[in-house]
Amino acid sequence: MSERRLSPLDRLLARADNALRTLTPGTVKAERRPPSAGGDNPDGTLPGEQRRHVMGLMRINHTGEVCAQALYQGQASTASLPHVRHAMEEAAREEEDHLAWCEERIRELGGVPSRLNPLFYAMSYAMGATAGLIGDRWSLGFVSETENQVVRHLEAHLYQVPESDLRTRAILEQMKTDELKHAVTAKDAGGAELPPPIRHAMTLMSKVMTFTTYRV
């Protein structure tokens, strides 16, 4: 049976639904169970200062996944080729697991997601839509560069998470594996390498997001 064609209104409503689900705590449910290394401490019994630091790191990662949802949805809204649009929507669904895992870990550690998430969602959606308008090769290249930066981000966080916090480390390791796969997939699909000024601008925005969401 062929897939029903969605009207522009259908797509608009789907985008709005995704935004509401992404930004409403407890709404997104993971299809995969949270990674676990066994013998970890899901109740957040790390020493106080370590617990607060890991909670801040996971809040950053959660906002990163909020941005990923917005980025993919924005790109899907303007992608010209159907297979590219489908790839963006599929990647967004896979990223929902990360979103749910990060939120759950934040709650276990006694925290709440960043209050700045709506702002970063809007900014990321605009960036994704703009990339899609420029062209699918550049849109895919934008995905590849974004995911590569996320991988480096996660590696830095893994270095800071205590060895005893097996739960957080298992989540970040699985996220790193998935993000690397998305980066390779986007590049293999024809993603263009972004010019250095754009890569530097992306890095700067990432630093702003990291600094603010760790605290707010």
- Quick check: is 60 in a domain? yes
Residue 86 assigned as binding residue: no
**28 in a domain, yes or no?**
no
Residue 104 assigned as binding residue: no
Say whether 179 counts as a known binding-site residue.
yes
pLDDT digits (tens, 9 = 90+) for 40-54: 555 556 888 999 999
Q: Does the pLDDT at position 19 exceed 60?
A: yes
Is residue 36 in some structural domain? no
Question: Looking at the whole model, is its pTM more than 0.85?
Answer: yes
**32 within domain boundaries:** no
CATH number (domain holding residue 57): 1.20.1260.10
Asked if residue 30 belongs to a domain, the reply is no
Structural domain contains residue 157:
yes
- Tell whether 96 is covered by a domain: yes
Q: Say how many domains are in the chain.
A: 1
**Domain carrying residue 158:** 8-22+42-213
For 195-210, what is each residue's pLDDT tens digit?
888 888 888 888 999 9
To the question of whether residue 193 is assigned a binding role by annotation, the answer is: no
74 burial level (CB within 10 Å; 0-12, 13-18, 19+): buried
Average pLDDT, the chain: 84
Render pLDDT for 46-85 as a digit per residue (tens, 0 to 9). 888 999 999 999 999 999 999 888 888 887 777 666 766 6
Residue 31 lies in a domain: no
CA torsion angle 132 138 139 145 (round to 10): -150
